[in-house]
Amino acid sequence: MKTPGIVIGGITSGVGKTTISIAIIQGLLKRGYKVQPFKIGPDFIDPTYHNMISKRRSRNLDVWLMGINGLKESYLENSIDSDFTVLEGVMGLYDGMSGRNNFTSTAHVSKILDLPILLVVDAKKAARSLAAITLGFIKFDRKIRISGVILNNIASERHLRYIVEAFDSKIKIPIVGKIFNDKSLIYHERHLGLIPGMELNAKLQDIITNNSKIIAEHLDFEKIIQIGKEINYPDKSKIEKFSLDFVKRKSIYQESKKLLDSKVKILVALDKSFNFYYQDNLDLLHKRAKIEFFSPLDDSCVSQDTTGIILGGGFPEVIADKLENNSNMRRSILDLAQKDIPIYAECGGLMYLTKTISGYKNRKKKHRMVGLFDADTIMTSKVTLGYTEALLKSNRTYLGKLRNVRGHEFHYSNVVVNNADLELIYDLKKGKGIMDGRDGFHAHNSIASYMHTHFMNSTFSDRFLEGCVQYSRK
């Protein structure tokens, strides 16, 4: 089964890839296509904008986190019932893990899936020079297929005429979008980028939808659709054999009824404070256990039949006062943690399990959190960003003998450890972690780290679920 599709790449970050991606999704929907969106890279926020427009769950595609086979599997499984796929790129087209090659970049993923690229070029402060920049991108790696250009932030018709004249003499690929600078098309941002779609009220969501319709009018969908149909797309029959871990996990899924019969019920925190989840992760858990969502902000406690808790990333610092005020929920989670319920927490979830959070917008007040770990979270103005690779150095967690864990970290906070005896179970071969290249608090049966992980191509979720099964039998 082959599905047409395109990759939206940019010359740099901040050129409007998300804005243009959702406009293309909007325009394709208007023309009767079933559109499956994807986000290249580990970003949690941009997919929420895809979801808003497409009404389908956007998926992340990341070579480092998922492996090539895991990436292909996710793409094929989730696009099989769609008419068109739209993949929003990450950073600049060729930006990946290092400067030596394209590994993990938008260009890398486009090549793996054999999908054409529409290159978004920011037209501000240049005209003829844009042709030189674009030509450089085309020639930089001849194996990468840039099939169309979208010009963003055009100042005027005269400005556009200069750009088109330069392109006509130098660039052989078509311009498929001409978007003029419009200051009324506003998108709200915060320290980690766009505000997650879940936090936007109905009015702001309507504004984003209307913006995408306006931008779609400046795109040449006849050419875009033609480009999306011209490439030979991957077929399931051509997928390489999956990695050993992936095959093992598939065989375990065939026995999923046994786990469902064991009354495994996992609560996943989902509200304005905690909403950073990979859809594939939730799907993998759902295949083997009962998944329910709860709100540390609004719910009073964790239900007693819960056998596992997941606290994802997000922005607990923004409304830390409300998390603090829900003392019943904080006590409920602490009580269950001390009774050895399996808890897995990432980034925002880690912050919630410390004693306090302070420093957001330079506020000095310390807001009390769960307090499972004797540490305090302090917001900073410095970002920690990058891929991680961890070596698990403890055999006493529900992760068992799992050794290498790949992930990524992205935060504007530091965790200050108050107790030198706190156990940190990860030694990082790559990344910063909580302190000095170490990550992953462990206490009772809880693990909390700055590192975000993807369950595809890993036995991580299997180990967590097995821990939940054991807890259910106590």
381, 192 in Cβ contact below 8 A?
Answer: no
**Residue 243 pLDDT:** 39
**Residue 401 pLDDT:** 86
Within 8 A by CB and 6+ apart from 225, the residues are: 4, 28, 31, 84
If we measure between CA atoms, which residue out of 473, 129, 455, 125 comes closest to residue 310? 455
**Residue 474 pLDDT:** 80
Burial letters 331-363, b for 16+ CB under 10 A, else e: ebbeebbeebbbbbbbbbbbbbbbbbbbbbeee
Tell me the average pLDDT across 151-157. Answer: 97
**Residue 189 pLDDT:** 57
Residue 258: is its pLDDT beyond 70? no
Spatial separation of the C-alpha atoms in residues 448 and 106, rounded to whole Å: 30
- Start-to-end CA distance of the chain, whole Å, equals 46
442, 397 in Cβ contact below 8 A?
Answer: yes
Residue 183: is its pLDDT beyond 70? yes
Spatial separation of the C-alpha atoms in residues 377 and 375, rounded to whole Å: 7
Residue 363: is its pLDDT beyond 90? no
pLDDT (tens digit per residue) in 86-122: 999 999 999 999 999 999 999 999 999 999 999 999 9
**Residue 399 pLDDT:** 95
Q: How confident is the model at residue 452 (pLDDT cuts 50, 70, 90)?
A: very high
Q: How confident is the model at residue 219 (pLDDT cuts 50, 70, 90)?
A: very high
**Residue 236 pLDDT:** 47
CATH annotation of 5-238 = 3.40.50.300
* Catalytic residue chosen out of the listed positions 45, 115, 269, 347: 347
Tell me if residue 26 falls in helix, strand or coil: helix
Residue 295: is its pLDDT beyond 80? yes
If we measure between CA atoms, which residue out of 146, 140, 154 comes closest to residue 173? 146
pLDDT (tens digit per residue) in 318-360: 999 999 999 999 999 999 999 999 999 999 999 999 999 999 9
Q: Is 347 a catalytic residue?
A: yes
The structure tokens listed for 249 are 């996990």
Domain ranges of the chain: 5-238, 245-472
**Residue 263 pLDDT:** 80
pLDDT (tens digit per residue) in 372-402: 999 999 999 999 999 999 999 998 999 998 8
- Compute the Cα dihedral for 236, 240, 243, 248 and give only its sign: positive
Quote the mean pLDDT of the chain: 91
Spatial separation of the C-alpha atoms in residues 309 and 334, rounded to whole Å: 12
pLDDT (tens digit per residue) in 9-44: 999 999 999 999 999 999 999 999 999 999 999 999
Tell me the average pLDDT across 212-221. Answer: 96
**Residue 244 pLDDT:** 44
Residue 184: is its pLDDT beyond 80? no
Q: How confident is the model at residue 204 (pLDDT cuts 50, 70, 90)?
A: confident
Residue 231: how many CB atoms within 10 A of its CB? Answer: 18
The structure tokens listed for 242 are 């999956």
- 417 vs 402, higher pLDDT: 417
**Residue 245 pLDDT:** 45
**Residue 262 pLDDT:** 63
Residue 180: is its pLDDT beyond 90? yes
Same fold, 5-238 and 245-472: yes
- 233 vs 18, higher pLDDT: 18
**Residue 402 pLDDT:** 87
Which segment of 141-145, 211-215, 248-252 scores lowest on mean pLDDT? 248-252
pLDDT (tens digit per residue) in 238-254: 544 443 444 454 544 44
CATH annotation of 245-472 = 3.40.50.880
Half-sphere exposure in the Cβ direction for 229 (13 Å, CA): 8
% of the chain residues with pLDDT over 90: 81
Q: How far is CA 253 from CA 194, 288, 290, 461, in A?
A: 36, 7, 14, 12
- Beta strand ranges found along 287-422 (DSSP E): 290-294, 308-311, 313-314, 343-346, 356-358, 367-368, 375-392, 404-417
- Compute the Cα dihedral for 59, 62, 65, 70 and give only its sign: positive
**Residue 278 pLDDT:** 97
If we measure between CA atoms, which residue out of 306, 296, 299 comes closest to residue 274? 296
Residue 199 sits at the vertex; the CA angle it makes with 361 and 119, to the nearest 5 degrees, is: 95
Q: How far is CA 396 from CA 14, 308, 401, 447, in A?
A: 44, 17, 9, 11
